[in-house]
Structure formats: C-alpha cells, structure tokens
A = this chain, B = another copy of it.
Amino acid sequence: MLQILSVIGDKWSILVIGQLRDGTLRFGELHRAVKGISQRMLTLTLRQLERDGLVTRTVHPSVPPRVDYALTELGTTLLDSVVALGHWATAHRQEITTHRRRYDAARRP
C-alpha cells in the first residue's frame, strides 16, 4: 500500500496523470502543461509511471525522434480519483491559504 501510494500519492504523478486525461502528449507538451516541473523531474516521474504500468512511452522513429506518452487502461482507472483530488485542490485553494496564514500568524514570535 505504502509503496503504491509513494507513486500515485505524489504531486507530480497526480499532475502528469491529470494532463494525460484527454489523450496522448509529447514530452515537450507535458513539460509545458505541468507548470513548475523540471525536465529531469518529468523524466523521473514518467519513468516511474511507466514502470508501474500506468503510462506507455512510444518512440516514433522520426528526425528528431518523437516520444509520446499516454495512459494505459490501468492508468485510466486511476483518473477519476486523481481528477477529483485536483478539483478539490482548486476549489479549496483559497480556504487553505487562509488557514495557513492564520496558523503562521498565531505562531509568530
């Protein structure tokens, strides 16, 4: 359970899986879509998702080579929970930010 959650309960994995909900994306497209992720972190995240059988990686022998990423059937079964988590985060962002400010202010020396 813990090892599984290490991957799916990771902010980058959640954001990458969320971006792939509408279909195949290239590495560069994913990199632009997932704000704030470095190329290296995106590579590592995609490798983990591929290793877990959640994402496929397809290399097209063009010049330059094109690399496509897509959710597998297993990855798609995870989509509902991931999208729900993303919606929750968007809906409650302001509320959480307010809580954080209040918490930090109460503890300021």
Identify the A interface with B (CB < 8 A).
1-2, 4-11, 13-15, 35-36, 50-54, 74, 77-78, 80-82, 84-86, 88-90, 92-93, 95-96, 98-100, 103-104
8 smallest CB-CB distances across A and B, nearest first, come from A53-B99, A5-B11, A4-B89, A9-B11, A81-B84, A51-B103, A81-B85, A9-B14
Expressed in whole angstroms, the Cα–Cα distance for A5 and B9 within the complex equals 9
Question: How would you classify the secondary structure of chain A's contact residues: helix, strand, loop or mixed?
Answer: helix
Expressed in whole angstroms, the Cα–Cα distance for A96 and B75 within the complex equals 10
Chain B neighbourhood of A4, CB < 8 A = 89, 92-93, 96
Contact (Cβ within 8 A) A84 B92? no
Chain B neighbourhood of A92, CB < 8 A = 4, 74, 77
Among B36, B77, B86, the residue within 8 A (CB) of A88 is B77
